């Protein structure tokens, strides 16, 4: 009999994009080049991701973001294939309400809902939301929450009394399209988070640490899951800065933080330091608030994390190099990439056009690969008469 977590090579990957509901623009840490992230702009990004063939989009959560569920509900009828990775928040939602919301979104989208379990890592924000729990207590709530939530999505009637959650006769009357409920995604770097991942979720997400560190995290969660007779798959959250040449890509990285001054970095790092998130601590440790040593592994640049919380690293380089770095992550067990780039509309196109053809994707990319006679892609017609031919030397 094969082991539950016997190692199998990752030969194909899913690539997600990102809906920037907490802001977007050409530069970080400044209002210069900023954009209004309204319904129209989010629609542009979602429809671009849908047409280009991204597997799905992550919608972030927190007080700095528009509500992920309402945004997903607005985008569903405007897209055809795109999946929506939305946040369930143990401690903010009772599991019965979360299960009903999940089932509704899954039905409205015809099975395109994905669920991101988020415990919250900023004690100040948590208190503003009425959560006065320690780090360990939040994960205890998460474990109880998932125990009830998963049983409801599986169609059970649930009676449960825990230290934090109690329900009697809880039911989900209208089932999900996806049998047993949408896949559960989850991120966290602490021992408590690893236990939750091993026990309850389908896909463990890590922020973009160097490959050796990611390999260690994967090995730890795999071992815990194996001990419970479970299998967990793995994804990574990264930014991307890809250009046709490496020099152009690194210049774009420099431009992205060209308006960030030392005072802005210090203010951001002070906020990050108050958090009890182990993942945020690891992100901040990669650069230490310094801008002089930002390439923390080959082509892995930590400049985003100088002023942005959460995912703070970007893959930087020409298309073949970025694809090669992604394949390195696949070699250690990553099968899903949740990507973003500034500004998100243009970069969704740039990444898909430059890198998708170089990756072994697990999903179709109709907007990039389709080559039927009248739909291209072939570029603008030359002199109203000639369709330009692709030139490999310029790709």
pLDDT bucket at 131, cuts 50 / 70 / 90: confident
pLDDT of residue 88 exceeding 90, the answer is yes
Angle between helices 278-287 and 262-273 (to 10 degrees): 150
For the stretch 202-250, pLDDT in tens is 999 999 999 999 999 999 999 999 999 999 999 999 999 999 999 999 9
The count of domains in the chain is: 1
Residue 365 pLDDT class (50, 70, 90 cuts) = confident
In a domain, 60, yes or no: yes
State the chain's mean pLDDT as an integer.
91
pLDDT at 97: 97
Region 303-321 average pLDDT: 95
Average pLDDT over residues 266-270: 91
Give residue 372's pLDDT. Answer: 46
**pLDDT band at 90; cut points 50, 70, 90:** very high
| CATH number of the domain where residue 43 is located | 3.20.20.30
| Residue pair 82/50 in contact by the 8 Å Cβ criterion | yes
151 touches 84 (CB < 8 A): no
Q: Which residue has the tokens 């060209």?
A: 258
**Token pair recorded at residue 241:** 């800065």
Does residue 269 form part of some domain? no
Token reading at 128: 């503003």
pLDDT score at 5: 43
- Asked if residues 130 and 117 have their Cβ atoms less than 8 Å apart, the reply is no
148 lies in some domain? yes
Of the candidates 288, 340, 280, 287, the one whose C-alpha atom is nearest the C-alpha of residue 309 is 280
The CA distance from 94 to 106, in Å, is: 18
Mean pLDDT of 52-62: 96
- Which range marks the domain in which residue 120 is found? 14-238+334-360
pLDDT at 278 over 90: no
Q: Examine the pLDDT at 394 and tell me if it is beyond 50.
A: no
pTM, two decimal places? 0.91
| pLDDT score recorded for residue 393 | 42
Tell me the pairing of strands 233-242 and 334-340: parallel
pLDDT at 275: 87
pLDDT of residue 392: 46
Q: Region 154-180: what's the mean pLDDT?
A: 97
- Residue 279 resides in a domain: no
In a domain, 264, yes or no: no
Packing angle, helices 39-52 and 344-355, rounded to 10 = 10
Is 43 inside a domain boundary?
yes
Is the pLDDT assigned to residue 389 strictly greater than 90?
no
Instruction: Report the range of poorest mean pLDDT among 173-177, 261-265, 281-285, 368-372.
Output: 368-372
Q: Reduce the secondary structure of the chain to three states and give it as a string.
A: CCCCCCCCCCCCEEEEEECCCCCEECCCCCCCCEECCCHHHHHHHHHHHHHHCCCEEECCCCCCCCCHHHHHHHHHHHCCCCEEEEEECECCECHHHHHHHHHHHHHHCCCCEEEEECCCCCHHHHHHCCCCCCHHHHHHHHHHHHHHHHHHHCCCCEEEECCCCEEEEECCCCCCCCCCCCCEEEECCCHHHHHHHHHHCCEEEEECCCHHHHHHHHHHHHHHHHHCCCCCEEEEEEEEEECCCHHHHHHHHHHHCCCCCHHHHHHHHHHHHCCCCHHHHHHHHHHCCCCCCCEEECCEECHHHHCCCCCCCEEEECHHHHHHHHHHHHHCCEEEEEEECCCHHHHHHHHHHHHHHHCCECCCCHHHHCCCCCCCCCCCCECCCECCCCCHHHC
**Whole-number pLDDT of residue 6:** 46
Residue 179 lies in a domain: yes
Range scoring the smallest mean pLDDT among 68-77, 106-115, 358-367: 358-367
Q: CB 162: neighbour CB atoms within 10 A?
A: 14
- C-alpha closest to that of 243 among 319, 337, 339: 319
**Is the residue at 183 inside a domain?**
yes
pLDDT band at 373 (very low <50, low <70, confident <90, very high): very low
């Amino acid at each position: 009999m094969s082991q539950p977590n016997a190692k199998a090579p990752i030969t194909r990957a899913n690539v997600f994009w990102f809906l920037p509901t907490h802001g977007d623009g050409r530069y970080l840490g400044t209002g210069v080049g900023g954009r209004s992230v309204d319904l129209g702009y989010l629609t542009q990004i979602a429809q671009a991701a849908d047409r280009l063939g991204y597997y799905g989009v992550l919608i972030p959560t927190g007080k700095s973001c528009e509500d992920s569920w309402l945004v997903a509900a607005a985008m569903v009828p405007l897209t055809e294939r795109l999946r929506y990775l939305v946040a369930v928040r143990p401690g903010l939602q009772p599991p019965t309400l979360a299960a009903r919301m999940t089932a509704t979104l899954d039905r409205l989208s015809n099975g395109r809902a994905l669920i991101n379990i988020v415990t919250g890592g900023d004690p100040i924000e948590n208190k503003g939301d009425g959560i006065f729990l320690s780090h360990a207590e939040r994960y205890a709530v998460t474990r109880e929450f998932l125990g009830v939530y998963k049983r409801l999505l599986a169609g059970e009637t649930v009676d449960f009394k825990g230290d934090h959650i109690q329900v009697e006769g809880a039911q989900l009357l209208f089932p999900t399209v996806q049998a047993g409920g949408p896949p559960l995604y989850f991120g966290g770097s602490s021992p408590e988070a690893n236990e939750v991942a091993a026990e309850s979720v389908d896909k463990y997400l890590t922020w973009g640490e160097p490959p050796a560190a990611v390999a260690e995290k994967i090995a730890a969660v795999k071992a815990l899951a194996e001990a419970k007779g479970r299998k967990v798959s793995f994804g990574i959250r990264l930014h991307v800065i890809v250009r046709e040449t490496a020099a152009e890509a690194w210049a774009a990285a420099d431009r992205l933080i060209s308006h960030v001054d030392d005072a802005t970095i210090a203010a951001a790092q002070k906020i990050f330091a108050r958090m009890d998130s182990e993942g945020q601590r690891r992100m901040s440790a990669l650069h230490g608030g310094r801008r002089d040593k930002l390439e923390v592994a080959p082509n892995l640049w930590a400049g985003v994390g100088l002023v942005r919380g959460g995912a703070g690293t970007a893959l930087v380089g020409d298309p073949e190099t970025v694809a090669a770095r992604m394949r390195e992550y696949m070699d250690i067990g990553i099968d899903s990439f949740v990507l973003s780039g500034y500004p998100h509309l243009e970069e969704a196109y740039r990444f898909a056009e430059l890198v998708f053809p170089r990756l072994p994707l697990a999903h179709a990319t109709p907007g990039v690969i389709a080559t039927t006679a009248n739909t291209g892609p072939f570029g603008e017609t030359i002199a109203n008469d000639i369709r330009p031919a692709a030139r490999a030397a310029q790709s």
